[in-house]
Amino acid sequence: MSIRYQTTRREFLMTAAGVAGAGIALSNPATAGIFGSKADSSAVGLKVPPLETVRVAFIGLGARGSDHLKEMCALEGVVVTALCDNHAPTLERALKIVADKNRPAPTAFGKGDKDYKRMLERNDVDIVIICTPWELHTSMCVDTMKAGKHAFTEVPAAVTVDECWELVDTAERTQKHCMMMENCCYGREELIALNMCRLGILGELLHGEAAYLHDLREQMNEVEHGTGSWRTYHYIKRNGNLYPTHGLGPVAQYMSINRGDRFDYLSTVASPAIGRALYAKEKFPAGHKWNKVAKWNCGDINTTMIKTARGRSIMVQFNETSPRPYTRLNLIQGTKGTFAGYPARLVIEGETPGVHEWVEGDKLKPYLEKYEHPLWKKMGESAVAAGGHGGMDFLMLWRMVYCLRNGLPLDQDVYDAASWSVISPLSEKSIANRSNSVDVPDFTRGRWKTTAPLGIVT
């Protein structure tokens, strides 16, 4: 059933260039980026003419791509016109998903790694959803925008500083949307926290805590195909926060990063890299390639501290290698109160019973209902029914399509994609230099000072 709108893999060959490139383009906030964008161009508040029907193409239809495909097929005003994947069984399964939804058959592209470029030549594609290995995201986004289509990529949007600038410069030059699809910004609790921040309930914001702590060692069993077949190489070649955006994206929105504040500099420390080697020794034969790795570089737990231009602090942690419960932390501290996640907890001075004890569990429910975000009030029931990480995936896609059909700016723009993703290569640079602080580029070129915060969208 369609949801109606209310109009109002291969193995990853990483080189040291990723870390070395992090030193480039760190201090050019007032000038064009290294790829030559015009100084007066901007993608701030970018609007495009409304699309009566959003014609969607996909590059990459594995785990995430297939989930997004199912949800897109449930949206009114959307037609999937093309699918691309270099793995024939995956492409066939995706075509069946569309057929099972009684949607028109899209054109399939599967003739090798570069067949997506042939797909981009089509004139029946408005947006492209990119769900491929991390190291391919930037090049595919850039190719998409240069082909005159809007790019929507899975996280992270880039793995080097140069790539972040390339995304920004291309979006500004082409005036095409480039959105990193950070689904966690559309979780119910994240939206409630955002609403409280915008209403001033927590007072002046001071500090945030974000994380991606998720034991994903089992992905190493995907040796020849699947996420682990390429993602595992990042742990071998890199040492940094490889996946910062799930926790950081919502906190950045609370603090209006790029819209009244910005990341200024960061410092990162990492623990020893032990867990992956132990898992390989336990789960794989002695001669297996995971046991032949000379050195696992990525520390099991990574902690980054970010200072913003307005003086706020943010802690960002990363650990996909240790046995521990899942959390994104999702903490925001203000002068009048604190909201924290996992489990959800709240303190508001003068409103909750005290400031020395969390309100949580059943006692928290009245506060969650009181500060429910209007977008969740409007679409939350449909989102939960559709599924996808508790509804956040569906709500993100719904909102993307809604904005495109109504000619509205997107909730996340290319500056968010760059500044949230750049934490990864900069954390590598900091660790490699005894955790010394590293400046964060101002991808907005100063426009953060006059850009309005993200409003309470409905």
Quick one: average pLDDT of 79-91? 98
Question: Is the pLDDT at 139 greater than 50, yes or no?
Answer: yes
Q: Per-residue confidence at 30, pLDDT binned at 50, 70, 90?
A: very low
Residue 201: what pLDDT?
A: 98
In the chain, domain spans: 45-180, 185-378+411-449
Residue 40: what pLDDT?
A: 62
Question: Is the pLDDT at 265 greater than 70, yes or no?
Answer: yes
Q: Per-residue confidence at 27, pLDDT binned at 50, 70, 90?
A: very low
Residue 93: what pLDDT?
A: 98
Quick one: average pLDDT of 84-97? 98
**Which listed CATH number (3.30.1370.100, 1.20.120.1200, 3.40.50.460, 3.30.360.10) goes with 185-378+411-449?**
3.30.360.10
* Cross-strand bridge partners of residue 207: 313, 333
Tell me the pLDDT tens digit for each residue of 67-80.
Answer: 999 999 999 999 99
- Whole-number Å distance between alpha carbons of 349 and 53: 48
Cα-Cα-Cα-Cα dihedral sign, residues 18, 24, 26, 30: negative
Residues 45-180, CATH architecture: 3-Layer(aba) Sandwich (3.40)
Residue 21: what pLDDT?
A: 38
Residue 387: what pLDDT?
A: 86
Quick one: average pLDDT of 47-59? 98
**Residue matched to tokens 């005036």:** 175
Residues above pLDDT 90, as percent of the chain = 90
Residue 29: what pLDDT?
A: 38
- Whole-number Å distance between alpha carbons of 200 and 419: 25
Question: Is the pLDDT at 246 greater than 80, yes or no?
Answer: yes
- Whole-number Å distance between alpha carbons of 412 and 415: 8
Mean pLDDT of the chain: 92
* Neighbouring C-alpha atoms within 13 Å toward the C-beta of 25: 24
